[in-house]
Structure 1
Amino acid sequence: MESNTSDLDHLTSPSPFLQCDYTDWSPSFSIIPSIYLLAFAVGCLGNALVLWAYLDRTPKRSRRSHLLKFCSPPCPGEEEKAELERNSSSSSSSSSPPTNRPRSLTHSLIASLALADLSFLVTLPLWAAYTALGYHWPFGETLCRLSSFLTALNMYASVFSLSVLSIERHRVLTGPPRRPCPASSRVLAALWSLSGILALPGFLLRSTRDPEWPDPSGSVACRMDYSALIGDQPDEEAREVAQMRWAAVLSLKSTLLGFLFPLAVLLACYCSLARLLGRHFGRGPRPDRPRQRRLLRVIVTLVLAFFLCWLPLHVNKTLSLLLELGFLPYSCVLDQILLAVHPYATCVAYLNSCLNPLLYAACDRSFRRKCGRMLRSTCGERKKKEVGEMIKAVDERSDSSGKTREADAGVEG
């Protein structure tokens, strides 16, 4: 991931196989930035809704009473009923103080997935401008490093969140009913710490300075710089070989740890679950409750979407790496195809961050209900404000008319 985050890396990475003519190749400098900006707008709004929906722990009864209080006037006889309910609730709360129910690990991991997507989506306008300017980075080296780090962090945090989500669903469906759930805070801390460590090369090795490949037009690229790892080697060929080896190591690391190993874990998890659910007429467990089935459907959909979106980019990276290292017979046509496909494969991978909220809305009925409650609550707050302003205006008019009558009475007296 770190070696191929930007589309320009294929053009500027030194390779002993520069035999093809790339003058006729150019990606779309308008379609890809437009897709990035659309993904930024849709993804930020959608993932913010996901964070609100899965982190909100307000009890349903209090939300419902809040909406009834501000969205509809009380009917005759309901004030006494509401007073009795308040008295009973106050007496019960005095005996047992209200406590917030701890957030489930599943909801915490879904919120973690949305947070990972948001952390990457805020960098999409920068990548859109970078592509629209013909792969010229005018934002400085700090933003180049930070944007690359957040891109890699999103990939690792997303796939790790999905892996732990699947393992948690497997544990819930196949384990003992009273089995204790691991602490969400510890799981999330370990998940994000590991993701941050694996994404560090994207921050430490990105650079906008490229003395070996100067651009006469003054264009600045945000690309990987392996000079800190290679050191000072006078032999140009040895530097190219060392640089290619480091690029291969980091690319292999991102493909193995960010794609293949989680894929193997998920396949083992879901194959085991499918085998157990296939024996539901016997003693095998099955998700009997609608909520369990709904959560399982949502998680399977998210997993499929992630791997289908990231598969083209990882296949493209792996084939390019095998071609440069000589494990595949060099073909100019294949090299040109991989170079032409790379920007669009990257675009498909980036679109995954804005697809997740749409998948929640399509598959999770409870998420749709929560969004509907938020809209109704917003409507209720707006109605409450309008009613308050109307009451205030009526009070002001009545006060002014009262003062006018008092002045008139004084004049008559």
Structure 2
Amino acid sequence: MVYSNRYGVIFACTCGVIMGVGFGANLLVFSLFAKHNTLRKNRLDALLLSMTLADFFSLLLIPFTLHSAVSFSWPLGDTSCKIYQFLLAFSLAASTYSLCAVSMARFMIITNPYQPPSTDLVVLMLVMAWALSFFISLPLRIFATKESLVPGLTNYTFCLPTIQEHHYQVVLSQFVLYYFIPMMVIAVNYVRLALFLHKSPVMSTASARNTRRASLMVFLAAGTFTVCWLPGYILELCVYLGLYMHGQSWEMFYFTCTVLQYLHPCVNPVLYVLLSKRYRSQPGVWLFHCNRNKVHPQIISVTESF
């Protein structure tokens, strides 16, 4: 039996581009942190570095996905499949919970700039983000398995996150733990932050411009997380309700959902670091934004962390 692999090749090419851009953006973030050595001076950068490490780790796993998409086979054994699925879930959770920590720290820094989070609190946030990611990912991927989805064709094997009997329990758990709870944490912190920014007294045109820019970044941060991850869970819901049918439209929807999920590790470093005012003038960063005249606020800027 011959299978058309048109979408597999397109998917592989698209993910290859995403992987290249993601590696470049994340490596640039690493170099900026190393060059400026701001981790001790700016505690938020430690959380941003945690997020970048998790995103970079996710990108390292993409080649295994590309091989499966092109060849319709998982190249390694069942044990390797379990390890791969666990590492994929772990890196996703670490990135997501690091984002939660970033949103909380950002709110505390901007609303109370004279009493920023202590070093101990930031370290506690980091430990909790990675420990929680480990302990929720391990049980969700303990049933990961290598299976043949086509009866009689053992060469067509895939590395699945769980066995069929537990599929929707895992999907529901992942939706709650990886998306709904983190999204609520991020949304609450950023809504409170947006309200604070708009209620703050404006002392100059420059300050008003900074406030508008900060509000836009708040919206983009929460919006990007939603856009990248919500469609995938909507697709899973459609499959569960029996609405999914094989056809060009549904295949394109599946393709789009998967690409958006892999795009998130590329967007994070650009949105949270490379568009920051602190690094805007650095070599290479100009690739990710339009050059504009710098604004020098006349009061302490509440948007410095953006």
Establish whether TM, by shorter chain, passes 0.5.
yes
Per the TM alignment, residue 341 of structure 1 is displaced from its structure 2 partner at its CA by: 2.3
| Aligned position for 1:411 | none
SS at match of 1:208: strand
Distance 1:121 1:318 in 2: 26
For residue 253 of structure 2, what is the aligned residue in structure 1?
341
Going from structure 1 to structure 2, the CA distance change for 1:248 and 1:27 (only over 3 Å counts) comes to farther
Task: Please give the alpha-carbon distance, in whole angstroms, between the structure 2 residues aligned to 1:120 and 1:165.
Answer: 19
Cα deviation code 1:98-129 (max 9, x no counterpart):
xxx82533101111111111111111111111
What's 1:93 paired with?
Answer: none
Query: Contact 2:25–2:266 (CA<8 Å) still a contact in 1?
Result: yes
1:44 aligns with 2:17: no
Conserved in 2, the CA contact under 8 Å of 1:309 and 1:349? yes
CA distance in 2, matches of 1:302, 1:311: 14
Q: How many residues align?
A: 281
Matches within 5 A, 1:299-338: 300-321=219-240, 323=241, 330-331=242-243, 333=245, 338=250
Letter of the 1:265 counterpart: V
Question: Relative contact order: is structure 1 or structure 2 higher (C-alpha 8 Å, sep ≥ 6)?
Answer: 1
Q: 1:221 is paired with a residue of what secondary structure?
A: strand
Separation in structure 2 between the aligned mates of residue 180 and residue 125 of structure 1, nearest angstrom: 38
Quick check: 1:275 aligned with 2:195? Answer: yes
Checking the alignment, whether the CA contact within 8 Å between 1:39 and 1:354 is kept in structure 2 is yes
Alpha-carbon distance, 1:269 to partner: 1.7
Q: Is the counterpart of residue 223 in structure 1 residue 223 in structure 2?
A: no
Q: Is residue 108 from structure 1 mapped to residue 67 from structure 2 by the alignment?
A: no
Unaligned runs of 5+ in 1: 1-22, 60-100, 227-239, 324-329, 374-413
The two structures have a TM-score, normalised by structure 1, of 0.58
- Give secondary structure in 2 for the equivalent of 1:222: strand
The separation in 2 between residues aligned to 1:251 and 1:171, in whole angstroms, is 33
Mean Cα deviation higher: 364-373 or 169-178: 364-373
| TM-score (normalised: structure 2) | 0.77
Give the Cα separation in 2 of the matches to 1:278 and 1:355.
26
- Which one of 121, 124, 127 corresponds to residue 189 of structure 1? 127
C-alpha change, 1:357 and 1:269, in structure 2 (3 Å) is: closer
TM-fit CA distance, 1:350: 0.6
Aligned partners of 1:320 and 1:338 also within 8 Å: no
- Is 2:82 aligned against 1:145? yes
- Residue 157 of structure 2 aligns to a residue whose secondary structure is coil
Partner Cα separation in structure 2 for residue 289 and residue 105 of structure 1: 26
Q: Report the equivalent of 1:158.
A: 95
In structure 2, the CA distance between the partners of 1:247 and 1:257, relative to structure 1 (3 Å rule), is: same
Distance 1:369 1:360, change over 3 A: farther
Measured after TM superposition, the shift of residue 291 of structure 1 is 8.9
Where 1:199 maps in the other structure, the secondary structure is helix
Whether 2:124 is the aligned partner of 1:204: answer no
Residues 113, 157 of structure 1: 8 Å contact kept: yes
Runs of at least 5 residues in structure 2 that lack an aligned partner in the other structure: 286-306
Cα drift, residue 300 of structure 1: 4.9
Provide the rounded CA distance (Å) in 2 between the counterparts of 1:52 and 1:177. 29
Spell out, residue by residue over 1:293-347, the C-alpha distance to the aligned partner (whole angstroms, 9 max, x if none).
Answer: 87776565344322211121121122323x1xxxxxx457599865652233112
Residue 174 of structure 2 aligns with which residue? Answer: 254
Find the structure with the greater CA-based Rg: 1
Aligned-partner Cα distance in 2 for 1:295–1:154: 28
1:163 is aligned with what amino acid?
Answer: C
CA RMSD of aligned residues (A): 3.6
How far, CA to CA, are the matches of 2:65 and 2:190 in structure 1? 35
Counterpart of 1:120 in structure 2 is: 58
State the 1:254 CA deviation: 0.9
Cα offset, 1:208, TM superposition: 1.6
| 8 A Cα contact 2:162 2:170, kept in partner | no
* Counterpart secondary structure, 1:136: coil
What corresponds to 1:33 in structure 2?
A: 12
Give the 3 Å change call, closer, same or farther, for CA 200–337 of structure 1 in structure 2.
farther
Deviation at 1:145, TM superposition (A): 2.3
Tell me how far apart the structure 1 counterparts of residues 229 and 15 of structure 2 sit (CA, whole Å).
16
1:363-413 CA deviation, whole Å, 9 max, x = no partner?
A: 22422434469xxxxxxxxxxxxxxxxxxxxxxxxxxxxxxxxxxxxxxxx
